[in-house]
Amino acid sequence: MHRRYTTALLLIVSLLTFNTALAQSPQEKFDADTVEKIKEEGLKRSQVMELISYMTDVHGPRLTGSPNIRKAQEWAKQKLAGWGLQNAHLEAWGPFGRGWTLEGFAANMIKPFYSPLIAHPKAWSSSTKGAVRGEVLYLDAKTEADLEKYKGRIKGAIVLLSPVREVRAHFQPEGTRMTEAELLEWANANPSGTGQRGGRRFEVSPEQRAAQQLQAKKWEMVSAEGAAVVLEPGRGDGGTIFVQSANIFYPTDTPFNQRKSARDKDAPPIIPQVVVAAEHYNQLVRMIQKGVAVQLEVNINAQYHDRDLMDYNVIAEIPGTDLKDEVVMLGAHYDSWHGGTGATDNAAGSAVVMEAVRIIQTLGLKPRRTIRIALWSGEEQGLLGSRAYVSDHFAKRPQQQPGQGQAAGPMEIKPAHEKFAGYFNLDNGTGKIRGVYLQGNEAVRPIFRAWLAPFRDMGAATLSIANTGGTDHLAFDGVGLPGFQFIQDEIEYDTRTHHSNMDVYDRIQEDDMKQAAVIMAAFVYNTAMRDEKLPRKAMPGQPTPQPGRQ
């Protein structure tokens, strides 16, 4: 009871402070009537769920470099052009490397009894040589010395690489929304704080470090001896499997410039790799530990695609009027992992930004600045598409060699950098927007506070000075441009859908997507209509930008 009372009291104090500051600060002007029209169109005639269905149900997983994402990109380009947006095109960046698709897969226990396994191959895994059948070898080792007994036994074997994973009952709900206390915590965050999307540092205990080193030694052994296929337990439970890219093992003394990623055309042979549902994996280990001879049949039929090593961003525009040479952008990453159909990560965000420009275009609005939409690829491999776009158009950061620390030298600032008004990104699942991460840019607080006012009754009111990482607004923020990610409800993002086989259309929350689309449309339109561009924060080592016509 004391905790609830304290939270309520803090919230009252926060609201009083908010209202006092609002009364004292200059009021940001915007066209409230147009915002109401945006809400009317987006809430009553939304197409956002139909867009998500096409991205997921029709085009399926959109792994960067794959034929699926190419087809989905062409569809999005044509859709945007059909709505009347200008200059709709696919803009190349790269080279990214080869694509990958899964053409067929099966994993079954065949002895001592038959049972299909819930499992999924890792992206860029090699194919098996047909159906691999045989007794399973479990690397039951607690120390490096324990691995000696498996030498000479791994070639051509089906290998279980890892110990069992603990599976716990779900006493807490998988789906959550941000509470008033959590929103207040974000509102009171300091500039060095981080948001929902990464940025946190975790201390590694000596035991965890030893376990990581032992796992690396296991990979070294199975790579050197040539296992037929390697199975690992997936994160998640209840049939949910979180699966990403295949591993390539390199000894620790291998120079970084000699290492390849799995997507490189000239990557070394990659062992076939499968992630298995924790409950099924654990069962296999327990059976083997009891002396049961377990046999599996595993068949991976995967295809590499290396005719075009470039990849593409989808770009289109609503031309501006008197300030048409200035640009406001909105975007989301279009690529996904392959286990599901990339619904919450990130067809949701991609459909929201498409719906936002559809709303603006349908209403016949005439923005002063050019509004440019971008659907990025390569985000899952390190924000590659958005970073390439920013480098090509706005500012090029000095090159940094892997493993050699911070790059030296100044940025190459391009003319369009000065003409850039702002960027808005959406990428944290299917939850409704609750506010905005200010990314350390205190000057935009009164502006965004005014813009959120029409959406307070829809649950969006929080402004956090904190940074949030892991998604495409960082490409803009990193070169001194105002780039922002919205705060969203988590729903089932980390617990159920993020990079998993359950990232599918049915996990999408329709009302949340409608809410997000109208807020995105309003923020973009308001930015396009301001007399001044959004204020910028100072880059490290540079003076604070002066207010005025930035």
Average of per-residue pLDDT across 361-385: 98
Q: How far apart are CA 385 and CA 332, in angstroms?
A: 11
Q: How far apart are CA 340 and CA 289, in angstroms?
A: 33
Confidence of residue 6 (pLDDT cuts 50, 70, 90): very low
Residue 241 has pLDDT above 70, yes or no: yes
Residue 197 has pLDDT above 50, yes or no: no
Average the pLDDT over each of 10-19, 31-40, 53-62, 442-451 and give the range with the smallest value: 10-19
pLDDT of residue 198: 43
Q: How far apart are CA 294 and CA 288, in angstroms?
A: 7
Residue 238 has pLDDT above 80, yes or no: yes
Please report where in the chains the tokens 């005719």 appear, as a residue.
Answer: 307
Average of per-residue pLDDT across 213-227: 92
User: What count of other Cβ atoms lies within 10 Å of the Cβ of residue 403?
Assistant: 9
pLDDT of residue 257: 84
Angle, helix 510-529 to helix 445-452, in steps of 10 degrees: 130
Label each residue of 221-285 as H, E or C.
Answer: HHHHHCCCEEEEECECCCCCCECCECCCCCCCCCCHHHCCCCCCCCCCCCCCEEEECHHHHHHHH
The domain limits of the chain are 26-96+310-397+410-529, 99-167+199-305
Average pLDDT of every residue of the chain: 91
Q: Confirm or reject CATH 3.90.470.10 for domain 99-167+199-305, answering yes or no.
A: no
Among candidates 22, 57, 72, which has minimal Cα distance to 335?
A: 72
Spatial contact of 465 and 442, defined as CB atoms under 8 Å apart: yes
Q: How far apart are CA 349 and CA 124, in angstroms?
A: 25
Spatial contact of 199 and 470, defined as CB atoms under 8 Å apart: yes
485-543 per-position pLDDT tens digit: 999 999 999 999 999 999 999 999 999 999 999 999 999 999 999 999 999 998 765 55
Q: How far apart are CA 420 and CA 415, in angstroms?
A: 10
pLDDT of residue 189: 83
Beta bridge partner(s), residue 422: 328
DSSP symbols for 353-374: HHHHHHHHHHTT---SEEEEEE
Task: Give 237 or 409, the one with higher predicted confidence.
Answer: 237
Residue 294 has pLDDT above 90, yes or no: yes
pLDDT of residue 398: 83
Query: What is each CA distance from 390 to 168, 401, 474, in whole angstroms?
Result: 44, 19, 10
Q: How far apart are CA 305 and CA 273, in angstroms?
A: 18
Residue 139 has pLDDT above 70, yes or no: yes
74-117 per-position pLDDT tens digit: 999 999 999 999 999 999 999 999 999 999 999 999 999 999 99
Residue 480 has pLDDT above 90, yes or no: yes
395-441 per-position pLDDT tens digit: 998 876 555 555 557 889 999 999 999 999 999 999 999 999 999 99
Average the pLDDT over each of 81-85, 235-239, 443-447, 521-525 and give the range with the smallest value: 235-239
Confidence of residue 452 (pLDDT cuts 50, 70, 90): very high
User: What count of other Cβ atoms lies within 10 Å of the Cβ of residue 393?
Assistant: 18
Residue 231 has pLDDT above 60, yes or no: yes
Q: What is the pTM of this model?
A: 0.91
256-279 per-position pLDDT tens digit: 888 899 999 999 989 999 999 999
pLDDT of residue 194: 60
DSSP 294: -
pLDDT of residue 408: 57
Residue 549 has pLDDT above 50, yes or no: no
145-194 per-position pLDDT tens digit: 999 999 999 999 999 999 999 999 999 999 999 899 999 888 888 776 66
Of the candidate CATH numbers 3.40.630.10, 3.40.50.12780, 3.90.1150.10, 1.50.10.100, the domain formed by 26-96+310-397+410-529 belongs to 3.40.630.10
In percent, the amount of the chain with pLDDT more than 90 equals 80
Average of per-residue pLDDT across 293-317: 97
Confidence of residue 5 (pLDDT cuts 50, 70, 90): very low
Token pair recorded at residue 408: 């030296």
